[in-house]
Amino acid sequence: MEGKLLDYKKIKEDFPILLSSMNGKPLVFLDSAASSQKPRRVIEAFEDYYRCRNANIHRGAYRLSYEATDLYDRTRARLAKFLGASDPETVIFTRNTTESLNLVAYSWAMNNLNPGDEILLSELEHHSNLVPWMMAARKTGAIIKHIPLTDDARYDLDRLPEVLSERTRIVSVAHMSNAVGTIHNLKAIGAAARSVGALFVVDGAQGACHKPVNVEDMDCDFYAISAHKMLGPTGVGALYGKRAILEDMEPFLGGGDMILTVSSDSFRPAPLPMKFEAGTPNIAGVVAFAVALDYLSQVGLENIHNHEVALVKYGLEELQRIPGIRLFGSHDLEHRGGVISFLLDGVHPHDIGSILDEEGVAVRAGHHCCEPFMKKEGISGTVRASFYLYNGPEDVDALVRALQKVRSIFKAPVKERN
């Protein structure tokens, strides 16, 4: 096949679970958009922390605590560099992208929006980039509006002026769609948001794991990520925010570590970043995340993106050979990441997922936490195959073979398309 492939077979050897089987078949893992697999060195870093360095951070007056604190703080600096943020104190550790977006919704939106203010989203967003803003709108009387979509599931920038106004206070969009793989033009959307003085928020859950990110060049006000999409552990995420905005926001959670002083009836919050990091964090996860970031940087995000585009190109070509396949998203690879979302005429997505499971092929079937888009398309869900740096063309071949078995079992009819 054509394209710039990584040495994925060598990379795959670094991931213990990918050398295993599922239902007696070699595992073909095509669900990295939900959660990526972890290389051995990340697993070992997580275990090493608990074996050799376990202590709480920022509090203990003893060596173990100093070492744990140093590892934690160095990860923050490492992540800031990875995201292109010059000030590590503007990177806040959270549990995941969901918590990061909720932090902005609760601490900024609920304290700054007024009745009639507008929040601009789209029907292609993950629920994590919809529901927190809906909750903020309920509390404040703000109005939710949506960026129109093109027929191939991209933001329709030509129609953006129809929904952008002087009342727009927040524009929150995905870097890349988890449902169909569209990579969006963030610079254009960010410039539009700034033209009306709105905050520009980016759901980077599917972005920072696949493409180089520079939040300062992007000029976003907030960028949210999850470590588990980026070869790191679950339960660790981060929010980048511009310093002036973060300093003006109320704390999200109250408790230990987020305070400067406390009296019997009042408190003063700690400076950034501790102001938003109440309680004992997932220290082991953060420490292991640093190793995941080093792994991604060693391979190279641009190389990873090129590898995924080559696989998607091959996948689209092969899947289109299957009678009755309906593909979603843009066929323009300039706007496409490592996701293929599809349906097979006459077969429910969950039935497809079950038969693929029997063949050792792991995919996601359902609405992918993107119900508004599915309803817009008049469907209940799709089957989603998502690729990462450890996948190769033989994984696409295994998917196609399994889908041929699905057609054979269901004797799937082929609908004529307009």
Q: Taking a C-beta distance cutoff of 8 angstroms, is the pair 70, 63 a contact?
A: no
The amino acid occupying position 403 is L
Cβ partners under 8 Å of residue 114, min gap 6: 140, 141, 142
Q: Clarify whether 369 is annotated catalytic.
A: yes
113: alpha, beta or left? (left if phi > 0; alpha if psi -120 to 50): beta
Intra-chain end-to-end CA distance of the chain, in Å:
31
Parallel, antiparallel, or unpaired: how do β-strands 118-122 and 143-147 relate? parallel
**Which residue in 413, 369, 270, 396 sits closest to 5, CA to CA?**
396
Residue 213 to residue 227: CA distance in whole angstroms? 15
**Which residue in 139, 104, 388 sits closest to 237, CA to CA?**
104
The amino acid occupying position 330 is S
Residue 403 to residue 401: CA distance in whole angstroms? 5
Residue 325 to residue 132: CA distance in whole angstroms? 35
**Which residue in 206, 219, 220 sits closest to 304, CA to CA?**
206
Q: What is the DSSP string of 291-344?
A: HHHHHHHHH-HHHHHHHHHHHHHHHHHHHTTSTTEEEES-S-GGGB-SEEEEEE
The amino acid occupying position 379 is I
Show the tokens assigned to 317: 């070509």
Instruction: Name the β-bridge partners of 241.
Output: 222
| 52, 209, 369, 370: the active-site residue | 369
Residue 317 to residue 7: CA distance in whole angstroms? 22
Rg (alpha carbons) of the chain, rounded to whole number: 22
103: alpha, beta or left? (left if phi > 0; alpha if psi -120 to 50): alpha
Instruction: Name the β-bridge partners of 31.
Output: 386
Phi and psi dihedrals of 174, rounded to 5? -85, 145
**Which residue in 415, 417, 384 sits closest to 153, CA to CA?**
384
Show the tokens assigned to 281: 């964090």
Catalytic residue numbers read: 369
